[in-house]
Structure 1
């Protein structure tokens, strides 16, 4: 049941949503933009992300208040149909809270924004899932075959990945607690090894003290990597922009806590702690790894740890210690594989729920009719003779049983729709660089524009203006600077797209 979902669990899930493979690009961003400039960008993005996360959370409260106030109004599609949990009291009390951000958009902003948000979310998540699949397959191939590309078996990486992530993508978040906790611990271990390994290497490696601290971009008048290098601003900004993105998952994360009023009030603190943790990870990893690898820092820093010995001299170091550090380095090398196994099911689950919330009730009704037609709901009926009746003649209890079964099948279908196509597409798609830039446009809308519009529309609802989550971030005057940041971010992404198109034409 939902009782297993505690505040600690919420913290773990939030971290797993936020910490994608993008964390591996932070040291490269620090090496290109300088420690001071990159730190300012990351901290600024983290603060703005917290504000927009809280706006979505407040919009959830206003949405529920609106539903309670207008109880006789036509409920949304997802709240009428989405019933995939059991019949125990705790789950039943939470079922009425089943909605996604797409429901908030439709309720407060209307159909136009609803279509824009749905399209943006689909583009962002589909391309993201495809990228995660490719990252896993790349790490899997490097681990199994090394540099011998001729020995690879076509589709084996995708098959192994699918065996793990497809079952996880179809179950509820509270049923993934143990798996996500283990993967989160593995993620913490890998980040700790990268940070600690860089620090140890800085201390033990005598050659590092003889290196010039100027970057390869010194021709652009960058004096030191420890200050600012504005020629690397684009790299740092694009890396940091989506490093704290989980606004689209807020309703699903909070849902299991809706029946626990004492815990629900602490949700803002948990989200703040999650963003503070990830921001600290980014700063620590970026500074330590870039300090050691400097101009040799790769765009994905785990590649720097292939054969990494933590600054030890292999000729004078004990064999057991060398074996230990090589094992630790291999943990970092396979970090992307562990990371994608954690985040892929969460993203597929969220995307599937949004698909389901966006669809009409026709599908669930059609499934209900097919279940009755083929006698697949007999064990759920309260009366044996109900199997021979039409749906309209069933008791309310039996109707609920049929609709619940149909809803479960529909939810499963949409989550598979979200998870399977990226796995299949990764068999043929090899270069995602341009697609990721296009997804960046969608990401700016999902992460920044949509929450700002929600805050404006829902916050002006009079009686709904102040919620239990009210705080300094609730001030509507903050909408203008967030909108300005989102517009600037969109401009930066579009500039990169134009540059990529120009490069394609040149080549």
Structure 2
């Protein structure tokens, strides 16, 4: 939750800064030292620090160096050092604002016929985490983040393609070539990937309802089956000759840390999609963002933990890589007690079990376009020169469609390669491990670093504008970001070691 909110806060702060710079005569509020010129050495005793507008870089620079020169060759008093640090930070802040203003004006000149970047609705260029990484962490920070995101999303898309293929081959057409399910999958998800998130609301809401239904059946199905038949003797999903269930499963096994942690990161990872989720919301609705994210993460965490524990307790060593496959011929512990294979009870059990078996294949049809959409948007933000190339090439006659055409092109680049790769790569566990490793950088490292820079830059925005920020600045202590970075370093070290030494 912390890392998600750090990205949301950075995104909203950047929107405020862009709105602020769009004013006709913007200025920044920065620390300025009010000194008594007759007693320059007594700054710490008689000086007072307040926030005043700085309208020109020259006045700030003169103030900075004149103040530093009055401190003498060696700044011994601690108060004087603190005043100097404030002035240096003010100079750095002014440089940041000047740089952002120049960039903002360039974008505005290029896209005169489109909406302003800061309006949050119908804007020219949707801010992505890639933009935030470049703005706050520099070009190397952007490179590391972008590389990790590309690997994460491509491998994640590969994993979703693998889930669809395995479900199709096991239930619909056993023994068929993987080319067939990959082709059918691509026919559906590639066009959907080209739509904006706002255009997929109805589909995503329906799939969310089905997702809860499927997970509920999976969870309560294993609970009922465990109490009816703890040894799973009536299910074709397990082998009776082997010891199954919790008795065969250790409470803790360090060798499984890599798979567990990276899969957990991947399952809860949507930090890279936060800007796209927040951008369509109005200011009033953005006030509810923390509550929505908190409830969503709490709900999914409880469902994952409860479902994972029950499936391990019931299926034990026979748990499949994709748990929905354990529900093939699943009888809920009561099916074989009925001699009539076509009784109402058996038919209902088969239908409900089949929902769980087939739902992941259907679910990937809705999740895949979301991830491909995010990757395409980030690729578009990473290579702005392509947009200029399309604009000046004459391929698109209508100037207003340049952005749309460029986005569709990048979303195709994001969606098609993983589908092709799923024909040749079928190991889902390895895919999740690789995606989880990259996810540590995307979900833990980058948000923590953004938060540390976000705290400094908040002072560059007028207090009156910050007061209207709909997303509060939570967890802004460096203690939290340091803890997250330490956890990420430890997890990366262990995961890498276990992947190289399986």
TM range (shorter): 0.7 to 0.9
Cα distance change of structure 1 residues 420 and 297 upon mapping to structure 2, 3 Å threshold: closer
Q: How many angstroms does 1:200 deviate by?
A: 1.6
Aligned length: 407
Partner of 1:474, secondary structure, is coil
Distance 2:329 2:113 in 1: 48
**Preserved contact between residue 82 and residue 98 of structure 1 (Cα < 8 Å):** no
**Preserved contact between residue 120 and residue 280 of structure 2 (Cα < 8 Å):** no
Q: How many angstroms does 1:434 deviate by?
A: 4.6
Cα distance change of structure 1 residues 429 and 470 upon mapping to structure 2, 3 Å threshold: same
Give 1:460's aligned residue.
456
**Preserved contact between residue 202 and residue 208 of structure 1 (Cα < 8 Å):** yes
Q: Gaps spanning 5+ residues in structure 2: where?
A: 23-100, 234-239
Q: How many angstroms does 1:315 deviate by?
A: 4.1
Give 1:145's aligned residue.
173
Structure 2 residue 433 is matched with structure 1 residue 409: no
Distance 1:81 1:289 in 2: 56
Give 1:425's aligned residue.
421
TM-score, scaled to structure 1 = 0.73
Give 1:312's aligned residue.
334
Give 2:141's aligned residue.
113
Distance 2:354 2:268 in 1: 27
Give 2:322's aligned residue.
300
Give 1:272's aligned residue.
294
Larger CA deviation: 193-202 vs 207-216:
207-216
**Preserved contact between residue 437 and residue 492 of structure 2 (Cα < 8 Å):** yes
Give 1:283's aligned residue.
305
**Deviation per residue, 1:279-303 (Å, 9 max, x gap):** 1111221233233223433332212
**Preserved contact between residue 226 and residue 333 of structure 2 (Cα < 8 Å):** yes
Partner of 1:495, secondary structure, is helix
Give 1:73's aligned residue.
102
Give 1:487's aligned residue.
489
For the aligned residue pairs, the C-alpha RMSD in angstroms reads: 3.1
Distance 1:130 1:213 in 2: 31
Distance 1:126 1:280 in 2: 27
Q: How many angstroms does 1:230 deviate by?
A: 5.1
**Preserved contact between residue 248 and residue 446 of structure 1 (Cα < 8 Å):** yes
Cα distance change of structure 1 residues 195 and 496 upon mapping to structure 2, 3 Å threshold: same
Distance 1:66 1:92 in 2: 12
**Preserved contact between residue 83 and residue 404 of structure 1 (Cα < 8 Å):** no
Give 1:54's aligned residue.
5
Give 2:208's aligned residue.
184
Cα distance change of structure 1 residues 73 and 370 upon mapping to structure 2, 3 Å threshold: closer
Structure 2 residue 87 is matched with structure 1 residue 136: no
Distance 2:221 2:106 in 1: 51
Give 1:254's aligned residue.
278
> Aligned match of 1:451 in 447, 453, 468?
447
Distance 2:111 2:425 in 1: 34
Distance 1:66 1:155 in 2: 49
Partner of 1:314, secondary structure, is helix
**Deviation per residue, 1:409-459 (Å, 9 max, x gap):** 111101111011111222233446555544433211111100011001121
Tell which structure's C-alpha radius of gyration is larger: 2
> Aligned match of 1:364 in 387, 391, 394?
387
**Preserved contact between residue 59 and residue 458 of structure 1 (Cα < 8 Å):** yes
Runs (4+) off by over 6 Å: 76-85, 209-213
Cα distance change of structure 1 residues 280 and 405 upon mapping to structure 2, 3 Å threshold: same
Cα distance change of structure 1 residues 269 and 78 upon mapping to structure 2, 3 Å threshold: farther
After superposition, where does 1:339-354 map in structure 2 within 5 Å?
Answer: 339-354=363-378
**Deviation per residue, 1:376-408 (Å, 9 max, x gap):** 63xxxxxxxxxxxxxxxxxxxxxxxx4321111
Distance 1:76 1:307 in 2: 63
Cα distance change of structure 1 residues 405 and 311 upon mapping to structure 2, 3 Å threshold: same
Distance 2:444 2:366 in 1: 25
After superposition, where does 1:146-161 map in structure 2 within 5 Å?
Answer: 146=174, 149=175, 152-153=176-177, 155-161=179-185
Higher relative contact order by CA 8 Å / sep ≥ 6: 1 or 2?
A: 1
> Aligned match of 1:122 in 133, 142, 150?
150
**Preserved contact between residue 126 and residue 418 of structure 1 (Cα < 8 Å):** yes
Distance 1:309 1:366 in 2: 59
**Preserved contact between residue 186 and residue 338 of structure 1 (Cα < 8 Å):** no
Cα distance change of structure 1 residues 429 and 64 upon mapping to structure 2, 3 Å threshold: same
Distance 1:79 1:339 in 2: 40
Give 1:216's aligned residue.
248
Q: How many angstroms does 1:131 deviate by?
A: 1.8
**Preserved contact between residue 372 and residue 411 of structure 2 (Cα < 8 Å):** yes
The structure carrying a bigger helix percent of its residues is 1
**Deviation per residue, 1:122-146 (Å, 9 max, x gap):** 1111111112112211111112223
Q: How many angstroms does 1:64 deviate by?
A: 1.7
Q: How many angstroms does 1:231 deviate by?
A: 5.7
Give 1:329's aligned residue.
353
Distance 1:133 1:82 in 2: 37
Distance 2:108 2:155 in 1: 28
Distance 1:77 1:307 in 2: 62
**Preserved contact between residue 330 and residue 353 of structure 2 (Cα < 8 Å):** yes
Distance 1:262 1:234 in 2: 41
Larger CA deviation: 96-105 vs 313-322:
313-322
